[in-house]
C-alpha cells in the first residue's frame, strides 16, 4: 500500500458547471410548498438553492477542509481517501471511524480533535486516540469501485489493510449507519486485531441467529421487529430503491445537483434531532459542503450501490456463531428504529449500552461532545488488552 498526502482542489470548470445547473433548475409542482409530507419541501429547496447560488462559497469550505490531515492510500490499484490525526497523550489507541449515507468524512470534523487530543478539550490525555477517518468507496474523495462486490464486508478488509499499513497492528472501530456495519464486520472477520467496537446505530442488515436452539424472541425484540417493519413501510422506499435499482436513480442524482440535494436533505431533516427545523441542527454551509462532496466525486450512483452490495452480502449470523470482541452502543433519542440490547447480545458481548440525552442519526455531526465522551468511556477499560 502506498500512502501520500492529499489536497482537495476542485477544478474551476467543475464549479462553473455546478453554477450553470443551479441556474437552470426546473422546479416541480407541489400541492403544499411548505410541507414535507410528500417528501422534501419545495419552499425549503428554493431557500437552499438561493443560498447555494448567492452565499455559499465552496473555495472557503475547501480551504477549511484542507486544514484537516488528508491522505490517499492505494492498494491493488484501488484508492481510499482518509484523514489521519495522531493522538496526543501517553498511549493513544488506534481508532478507525466510519461514516454512512448520506454523510461523509466531514461528519467527523468536530469529533476528531475531541478524540485525538482530549486533554486540550477538557478531557483526560490518557483517553487519546490515533484517529483514522476513511471515506467509503465512492464517497468523499474515494473513487468509485470499478467492479461489483464492494460492500461493508470487503470494506472491512480494506480498513484492516489501511490500519496495518499505518502501523496499527491492533485497533478499535466505531461507526454509525453503514459505518456500524463495517465495524461489526471488522469484529467478525478480524477478532484478533480488534480491541473493541463502538456503535451509535445497529444496521438493519444485522441479523442475529433466531429460532431453535436460540432463545425465543423477547417482547422487546418483537416490538423492535414491528417498529422496524413500520419504518420500512413508511420511510424505507429510499433504501429499497438504492438496494435494488441504484443505477436508475443514479441518472437523476448525477445530472441534477438540486435533485441530489433534495434526495439527501429529506433524510437529514427526518433523521436528525431538529424538531422539523433542519437549520437549527445543521447549518446550510455544513449541509451544502456535504452535498458538494457527493457532487464532486465520480457521481452519486456509486454511493447508492453500496446499499445493493450490502443487500447481497448481509450481516447475517448462523445458529451458534458468536463474536468475542467487546461491543458498546450509544442510543440517541431521534435515531432510526434501534433494537434492544438483547438483540445485539445474541452475537456480540455488549459491555456498555447507554441512552443519550439528545441527538439523532448523525451523532458525530449533531452531538460530537456527547459521542466523544461516550467513545472514551467505552474504550477506557479496553486500553490494556
- Among 28-37, 228-237, 347-356, 376-385, the minimum mean pLDDT is found in 376-385
CA distance 345 to 141: 36
- The predicted model gives 307-325 an average pLDDT of 97
- The predicted model gives 363-378 an average pLDDT of 98
Alpha helix segments (H runs only) across 126-256 = 152-165, 178-189, 219-235, 237-244, 246-255
3-state secondary structure of 171: strand
CA distance 206 to 317: 8
pLDDT exceeds cutoff 70 at 346? yes
Q: Is the peptide bond before 274 cis (omega within 30 degrees of 0)?
A: no
Which pLDDT value is given to residue 75? Answer: 84
Show Cβ contacts of residue 145 under 8 Å, excluding neighbours closer than 6 positions.
78, 137, 138, 302, 305
Q: Helices (H) and strands (E) in the chain — how many of each?
A: 16, 11
pLDDT in tens, 239-270: 999 999 999 999 999 999 999 999 999 999 99
pLDDT in tens, 12-49: 999 999 999 999 999 999 999 999 999 999 999 999 99
Q: Catalytic positions, please?
A: 177, 307, 361
Which pLDDT value is given to residue 86? Answer: 98
- The predicted model gives 127-154 an average pLDDT of 96
Looking at the structure, give the CATH architecture of the domain made up of residues 2-382: 3-Layer(aba) Sandwich (3.40)
Which pLDDT value is given to residue 184? Answer: 98
pLDDT exceeds cutoff 80 at 2? yes
- The predicted model gives 277-298 an average pLDDT of 96
* Cβ-based burial of 2 (10 A; exposed 0-12, middle 13-18, buried ≥19): exposed
Which pLDDT value is given to residue 385? Answer: 67
- The predicted model gives 77-89 an average pLDDT of 96
Grid cell 441542527 — which residue? 281
**CA–CA distances in Å: residue 281 to residues 51, 88, 294, 301, 373:** 17, 30, 21, 27, 20
Amino acid at each position: 500500500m502506498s500512502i501520500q498526502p492529499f489536497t482537495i482542489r476542485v477544478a474551476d470548470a467543475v464549479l462553473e458547471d455546478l453554477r450553470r445547473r443551479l441556474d437552470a433548475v426546473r422546479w416541480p409542482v407541489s400541492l403544499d410548498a411548505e410541507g414535507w409530507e410528500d417528501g422534501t419541501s419545495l419552499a425549503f429547496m428554493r431557500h437552499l438553492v438561493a443560498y447555494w447560488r448567492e452565499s455559499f462559497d465552496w473555495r472557503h469550505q475547501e480551504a477549511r477542509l484542507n486544514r484537516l490531515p488528508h491522505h490517499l492510500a492505494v492498494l491493488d490499484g484501488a484508492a481510499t481517501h482518509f484523514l489521519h490525526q495522531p493522538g496526543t497523550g501517553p498511549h493513544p489507541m488506534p481508532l478507525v471511524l466510519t461514516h454512512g449515507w448520506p454523510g461523509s468524512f466531514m461528519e467527523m470534523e468536530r469529533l476528531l480533535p475531541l478524540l485525538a487530543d482530549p486533554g486540550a478539550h477538557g478531557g483526560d490525555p490518557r483517553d487519546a486516540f490515533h484517529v483514522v477517518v476513511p471515506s467509503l468507496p465512492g464517497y468523499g474523495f474515494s473513487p468509485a469501485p470499478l467492479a461489483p462486490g464492494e460492500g461493508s464486508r470487503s470494506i472491512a478488509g480494506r480498513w484492516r489493510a489501511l490500519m496495518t499499513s499505518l502501523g496499527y497492528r491492533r485497533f478499535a472501530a466505531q461507526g454509525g449507519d453503514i459505518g456500524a456495519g463495517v465495524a461489526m464486520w471488522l469484529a467478525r472477520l478480524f477478532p484478533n486485531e480488534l480491541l473493541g467496537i463502538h456503535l451509535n446505530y445497529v444496521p438493519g442488515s444485522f441479523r442475529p441467529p433466531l429460532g431453535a436452539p436460540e432463545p425465543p424472541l423477547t417482547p422487546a425484540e418483537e416490538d423492535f421487529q414491528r417498529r422496524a417493519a413500520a419504518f420500512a413501510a413508511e420511510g424505507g422506499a429510499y433504501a429499497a430503491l438504492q438496494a435494488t435499482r441504484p443505477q436508475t436513480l443514479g441518472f437523476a442524482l448525477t445530472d441534477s445537483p438540486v435533485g441530489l440535494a433534495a434526495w439527501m436533505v429529506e433524510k437529514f431533516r427526518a433523521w436528525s434531532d431538529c424538531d422539523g427545523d433542519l437549520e437549527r441542527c445543521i447549518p446550510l454551509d455544513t449541509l451544502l459542503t456535504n452535498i458538494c462532496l457527493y457532487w464532486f466525486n465520480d457521481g452519486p450512483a456509486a454511493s447508492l450501490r453500496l446499499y445493493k452490495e450490502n443487500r447481497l452480502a448481509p450481516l447475517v449470523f448462523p445458529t451458534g456463531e458468536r463474536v468475542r470482541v467487546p461491543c458498546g452502543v450509544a442510543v440517541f433519542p431521534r435515531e432510526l428504529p434501534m433494537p434492544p440490547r438483547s438483540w445485539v447480545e445474541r452475537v456480540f458481548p455488549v459491555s456498555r449500552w447507554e441512552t443519550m440525552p439528545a441527538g439523532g442519526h448523525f451523532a458525530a455531526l449533531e452531538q460530537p461532545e456527547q459521542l466523544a465522551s461516550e467513545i472514551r468511556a467505552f474504550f477506557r477499560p479496553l486500553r490494556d488488552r
